[in-house]
Amino acid sequence: MSQFIDSLAELLGREPRKKPHPDDIMPEIVAIHRDKHEDKSRIEKIKMEMAHKAQHAAPEKLRRKRWAVLILVNLLFVLSFQLDIQMLEGALTASRFVGFHLADLNSALQVMLAYKHVVINLLIGTVTVFIGWWLLGGRTFCSWVCPYHLLAEWAEIIHEKLAKKRLVKDHPFDRRARTWFWLIFVVLALVTGYTVFETISPTGILSRALIYGPGLALLWVLLLLLFEIFYSRRAWCRYACPIGLTYGVVGALSPFKVQYHLESCFHEGECRKVCLVPHVLNTVIKGRARGQDVDIGADCTRCGRCVEACPTSSLTYKFKGLGDLL
């Protein structure tokens, strides 16, 4: 239970806990830490593998698969309208999948607060999407569906290259900002009676631009991407997007998550380098794990980059009750 509360608190912006008190560490965990370093040859092997990887960067296969899924989902929206195949009609804010209503949770929330009235179709769409993303992990929406996430990943690649050449520097923001934005937009919808957030939602703007044709609103998306390239890495998804926070809460109790296995981990920190939300991987830092198998927190988008980056396969997808997936 305390793990669940920690996960929610970190989602809202609290800094992750530092080392647990020595008295709180279970003896078996102390034993794991003591024993796993005895196998020197294994550690050497991992070091060599990592050196090799640094020289010959292999393509991130899982990442490409995820991009393919993201593009396919958005393509399904586009083709449903452009070719009239009517599979997935509407946009990411609200749609119908072969006739069944779906509504983006944050958009639906904004409309409910602004309109102060809920029609049954919207309720059906909201509940369906809630259950769907609860099963799939909540912020899974972000990395596997949201079109802005894909553009932001490409912008991040540029940012990283420029940062390597010391041409740009990452300026982090306070992670609590996102919680404040979420609250402010909730209050604004209630008070103004208008879905104020929709105007600046890059997810909605991009989804509509893909389906119904581009418009000037894309300039805002471009501005956000430039901001992320030159000033602050992944700023929108990390510090601003209320959609991400909403799905984060949905995923807090999801059966689908990334799980950390202390026993095989040698704390190289490769996972934290690629992670959109590195605070969820606080537990992998030497001495911080509070158990042998730790579920990664609610803010995790289940993108799988850490799963792929880990040299010792110490991070895996897990679907509660179904055993190891990958």
In the complex, which residues of this chain contact another protein (CB under 8 A)?
80-81, 89-91, 93-96, 101, 103-104, 107-108, 111, 114-117, 119, 121-122, 125, 171-174, 176-177, 180-181, 184-185, 188, 192-200, 204-205, 208, 211-212, 215-217, 219-220, 235, 239-240
- In sequence order, which ranges of the chain are alpha helices (DSSP H)? 2-12, 27-35, 40-55, 61-82, 105-115, 120-136, 140-144, 147-164, 176-192, 202-212, 218-230, 235, 242-251, 270-274, 305-309
- The CB-of-277 to another protein minimum distance in angstroms stands at 16
Instruction: Name which of 179 and 264 has its Cβ closer to another protein.
Output: 179
By the 10 Å C-beta count (0-12 exposed, 13-18 middle, 19+ buried), 117 is classed as: exposed
- The CB-of-77 to another protein minimum distance in angstroms stands at 10
Which amino acid, residue 125?
Answer: G
Q: ∠ CA(7), CA(10), CA(15), 5° rounding?
A: 135
Nearest to 177 by CA among 105, 225, 236, 108: 236
Instruction: Name which of 81 and 134 has its Cβ closer to another protein.
Output: 81
- The CB-of-194 to another protein minimum distance in angstroms stands at 6
Instruction: Name which of 96 and 290 has its Cβ closer to another protein.
Output: 96
- The CB-of-96 to another protein minimum distance in angstroms stands at 7
Instruction: Name which of 126 and 312 has its Cβ closer to another protein.
Output: 126
- The CB-of-183 to another protein minimum distance in angstroms stands at 11
Backbone angles phi, psi at 315, to 5 degrees: -120, 125
- The CB-of-250 to another protein minimum distance in angstroms stands at 18
Instruction: Name which of 32 and 217 has its Cβ closer to another protein.
Output: 217
Token pair 């034993």 is found at: 31
CA dihedral 270, 272, 275, 280 (to 10 degrees): 140
CA 44, 47, 52, 57 torsion-angle sign: positive
Backbone angles phi, psi at 312, to 5 degrees: -120, 15
Instruction: Name which of 4 and 212 has its Cβ closer to another protein.
Output: 212
Characterise 13 by phi-psi region: left (phi > 0), alpha (psi -120 to 50), beta (else): left
- The CB-of-314 to another protein minimum distance in angstroms stands at 31
Instruction: Name which of 89 and 156 has its Cβ closer to another protein.
Output: 89
Instruction: Name which of 46 and 200 has its Cβ closer to another protein.
Output: 200
Q: Which two tokens stand for residue 139?
A: 């912020």
**SS3 call for 258:** strand
- The CB-of-199 to another protein minimum distance in angstroms stands at 3
The span from the CA of 185 to the CA of 201, in Å, is 11
Q: Which two tokens stand for residue 69?
A: 């899924």
